[in-house]
A and B are shown apart, each in its own frame.
Chain A
Amino acid sequence: DAKTTQPTSMDCAEGRAANLPCNHSTISGNEYVYWYRQIHSQGPQYIIHGLKNNETNEMASLIITEDRKSSTLILPHATLRDTAVYYCIVVYGGATNKLIFGTGTLLAVQP
């Protein structure tokens, strides 16, 4: 079973920041938080991952709380092409191990 909880859906205005929350209250010390997204009828796309420090790359930022029980994915300037289902996944020891997908959050970016 997925070890994360995410809202079913969210809306965001184009050009604004999209903040997607994820709860992972049972995460253990050697488990990473990974984020992927899936645009309709395509394979999932890797976004970002982290262990305990905040991370930023060209796509997004990942903010992990100090107790590691929750995290937030931030898309700084959402565009219509960011409309997708976003999955937060807890993975033991990095992506060498399998990904168990939950239901994810459908982010709808509105013009």
Chain B
Amino acid sequence: GAVVSQHPSRVICKSGTSVKIECRSLDFQATTMFWYRQFPKQSLMLMATSNEGSKATYEQGVEKDKFLINHASLTLSTLTVTSAHPEDSSFYICSAGPVRGGSYEQYFGPGTRLTVT
């Protein structure tokens, strides 16, 4: 099946710094990528939708200037958490889909655990 990777898998950063998370579709081209956040013992919360070559669409309550999304190609999207604070500590997960010319399910990355100290 289609594979999505994320890098890094875990990151610890200091308060006030910025962190970039990469999401790649390894063996397919995805027209759309999605970014989610998940706090402990909670469900996934959609943060934003990004389409290659256009600006991301953010969900209500998600600060677009804090969570910068760049979707440079059909296989790569990045999420940058700017001026990170401890409350930004969370599990960040991306998904990609649909597979161009293929099925319609979304494929998820393994997630990135961000800890802000």
Interface residues of A (CB under 8 A from B): 34, 36, 38, 41-46, 49, 87, 94-96, 98-104
Query: Is B107 an interface residue when CB atoms closer than 8 A count as contact?
Result: yes
Query: Is B43 an interface residue when CB atoms closer than 8 A count as contact?
Result: yes
**Which B residues are in CB contact (< 8 Å) with A95?**
97-98, 104-106
**Which A residues are in CB contact (< 8 Å) with B11?**
none
Query: Is B28 an interface residue when CB atoms closer than 8 A count as contact?
Result: no
Whether the pair A98, B46 counts as a contact (CB closer than 8 A) is yes
Instruction: Determine the residue in chain A with the shortest Cβ distance to B97.
Output: A95
Interface residues of B (CB under 8 A from A): 4, 6, 31-32, 34, 36, 43-46, 49, 91, 93, 95, 97-98, 104-111, 113
**Which B residues are in CB contact (< 8 Å) with A45?**
108
**Which A residues are in CB contact (< 8 Å) with B95?**
43-44, 99
Instruction: Determine the residue in chain A with the shortest Cβ distance to B91.
Output: A41
Whether the pair A46, B106 counts as a contact (CB closer than 8 A) is yes
**Which A residues are in CB contact (< 8 Å) with B107?**
46
